[in-house]
């Protein structure tokens, strides 16, 4: 291929060969493989490369072959850097070996099963080499397309969302994502199959999910996931979850499929559940350990969870639970949606971070519930650990005396009101907890707040800045009002501005319960 380039740098090709059937190799891929100076491919220890097998009839006699054999495939290794370290060293070595051919003016075709950039090993060579050598990528038929065709199972239709998931995800996370999508493909099964099947059941997606093994190969087989013997599942297998099967009904079938019967059964069941009720619950600031037993029990009993997407994501998926996530600025619409479900007799929980009654969904639900159409719905609020409690506990006891809580957001109230309340709190010498201090579009409020407070407070006033408290990225800073840098504050922060009596002892901020005249 590289006769013209023998005196210069060779060209790198990442060539997708499709899922296994040699007849699914594209014309372009076949041409490049046949003309290659060097054919490189990955394979496991003691195994034959499936990509090499697909290309058997295409490789020209005399072509150089570079076998890139994985050092480990199970995740167990004595490498000092663990599995990740072993693989990083391996890919660096692979890149060096391929680069030697390229430097010698030889064109290198790296064979990839399926598509080169879809969970393929070629990606790691591309990362290391494409910046220094001319590179071309030839797409291939991905395995999931072949699997869907083998099972004659439509994946998604119209506006359905398709999600591709690795079976190596934690079971709870996999279940959540399966519940939140229409169609799905689950790759990388093998020993993870029991956990994947469990996640499908939790998400209510086991019915209709199809297991496909060695798609497009002569050994190909497919069957319902529920019927698969977990001990027989190879790496070259995947699961197709059709979008039609979401929520337990085939949404695009004719009316005669019995969908009405499903709804009637739900209505009959609802009639036996008692008075309509809507729960509004606080999930706490983040850690599972801060979820109250009362809220945990309630979430285990409801059939629907409604809320802002990041909060809905925190609710563990289980069989029979339907999730309804939305954006951050549609609180009343979200509340009406939940109330509509409750009116129909559905068991529903609206979720908020922290405490639902502190700048959360509780007030939005009560606002929507003023509509007489919801008169029969009882709204019950279950408390959660609030963000101010979490930050205060981490800092010591800064809200140990009288304190006020404010939001700096002017989305629902004019800034003039915010400023007037800041002055009143400062004049009253109250500790102040500040929610929603800044965002990407609101960058001036913290600075203006600081200016207003400094009109009444000493620059040495204690300030606590808590960011992502309760999460892995948590930071806590104790500073002063004078030293507070507004540019360091964002929506992940909660501020506590002390009173004149707030002090710091051995790094811990606290406010005395008594007031000296």
Tens digits of residue pLDDT in 152-189? 888 999 999 999 999 999 998 999 899 889 999 999 99
Cα–Cα dist 255/476, whole Å:
58
Instruction: Read off the pTM.
Output: 0.70
Which position has the higher pLDDT, 34 or 267? 34
500-508 mean pLDDT: 95
Helix intervals (H) in 344-478 = 361-368, 387-395, 415-427, 445-454
Q: What is the pLDDT of residue 2?
A: 55
Is the pLDDT score of 259 beyond 80?
no
Name the residue with higher pLDDT: 1 or 27: 27
Q: Which long-range contacts (CB under 8 A, 24 or more apart) does 24-28 make?
A: 24/140, 24/141, 24/146, 24/216, 25/54, 25/55, 25/58, 25/140, 26/138, 26/139, 26/140, 26/141, 28/138
pLDDT computed for residue 75 by the predictor: 60
Q: How confident is the model over 194-205, as a mean pLDDT?
A: 93
Enter the DSSP assignment of 218: T
Q: Specify the pLDDT at position 255.
A: 34
Q: For 458-493, how does the pLDDT look when each residue is reduced to its tens digit (9 = 90+)?
A: 999 999 999 999 988 999 999 999 999 999 999 899
pLDDT at 441: 78
Q: Give the per-residue pLDDT at 319.
A: 86
Which residues on adjacent β-strands are paired with residue 241? 184
Average pLDDT in the chain: 90
Q: How far apart are CA 240 and CA 27, in angstroms?
A: 28
pLDDT digits (tens, 9 = 90+) for 134-148: 999 999 999 999 999
Which pLDDT score, from 0 to 100, does residue 170 have?
A: 93
Residue carrying the six token digits 């979200």: 334
Share of the chain above pLDDT 70, in %: 92
What b/e readout covers 214-225, taking b as 16+ CB neighbours within 10 angstroms? Answer: bbbbeebebeeb
The confidence band for 517, taking pLDDT boundaries of 50, 70 and 90, is: low
Please check whether residue 361 is in contact with residue 307, taking contact to mean a CB–CB distance below 8 angstroms: yes
């Amino acid at each position: 291929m590289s006769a013209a380039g023998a005196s210069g740098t060779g060209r790198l090709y990442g060539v997708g060969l499709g899922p296994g059937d040699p007849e699914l190799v594209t014309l372009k891929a076949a041409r490049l493989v046949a003309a290659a100076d060097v054919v490189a491919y990955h394979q496991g220890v003691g195994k034959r490369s499936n990509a090499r097998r697909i290309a058997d009839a295409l490789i020209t006699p005399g072509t150089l072959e570079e076998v890139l054999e994985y050092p480990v495939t199970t995740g167990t290794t004595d490498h000092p850097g663990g599995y990740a370290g072993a693989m990083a060293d391996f890919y660096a070595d692979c890149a060096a070996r391929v680069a030697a051919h390229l430097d010698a003016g030889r064109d290198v075709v790296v064979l990839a099963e399926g598509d080169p950039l879809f969970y393929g090993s070629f990606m790691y060579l591309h990362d290391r080499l494409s910046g220094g050598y001319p590179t071309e990528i030839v797409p291939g038929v991905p395995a999931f397309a072949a699997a869907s065709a083998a099972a004659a199972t439509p994946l998604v239709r119209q506006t359905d969302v398709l999600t591709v998931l690795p079976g190596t995800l934690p079971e709870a996370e996999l279940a959540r994502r399966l519940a939140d999508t229409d169609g799905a493909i689950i790759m990388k099964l093998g020993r993870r199959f029991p956990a994947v099947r469990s996640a499908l059941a939790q998400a209510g997606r086991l019915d209709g999910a199809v297991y496909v093994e060695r798609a497009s190969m002569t050994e190909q087989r497919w069957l319902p996931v529920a019927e698969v013997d977990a001990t027989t599942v190879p790496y070259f297998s995947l699961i197709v979850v059709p979008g039609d099967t979401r929520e337990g009904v085939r949404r695009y079938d004719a009316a005669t499929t019995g969908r009405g019967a499903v709804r009637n059964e739900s209505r009959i069941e609802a009639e036996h559940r008692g008075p309509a009720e809507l729960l509004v619950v606080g999930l706490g600031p983040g850690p599972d350990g801060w979820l109250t037993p009362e809220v945990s029990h309630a979430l285990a009993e409801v059939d629907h969870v409604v809320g802002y997407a990041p909060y809905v994501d925190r609710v563990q998926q289980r069989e029979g639970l339907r999730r309804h996530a939305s954006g951050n600025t549609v609180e009343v619409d979200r509340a009406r949606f939940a109330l509509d479900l409750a009116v129909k007799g559905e068991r529903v929980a609206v979720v908020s971070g922290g405490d639902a009654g502190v700048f959360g969904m509780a007030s939005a639900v009560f606002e929507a519930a003023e509509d007489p159409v919801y008169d029969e719905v009882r709204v019950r609020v279950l408390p959660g650990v609030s963000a101010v409690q979490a930050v205060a506990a981490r800092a010591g006891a800064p809200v140990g005396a009288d304190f006020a809580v404010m939001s700096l957001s002017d989305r629902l109230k004019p800034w003039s009101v915010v400023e007037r309340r800041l002055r009143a709190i400062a004049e009253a010498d109250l500790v102040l907890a500040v929610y929603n201090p800044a965002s990407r579009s609101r960058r001036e409020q913290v600075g203006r707040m600081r200016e207003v407070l400094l009109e009444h407070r000493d620059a040495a006033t204690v300030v606590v800045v808590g960011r992502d408290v309760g999460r892995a990225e948590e930071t806590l800073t104790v500073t002063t009002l004078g030293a507070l840098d507004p540019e360091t504050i964002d929506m992940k922060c909660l501020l506590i501005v002390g009173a004149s009596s707030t002090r710091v002892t051995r790094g811990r901020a606290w406010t005395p319960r008594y007031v000296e005249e």
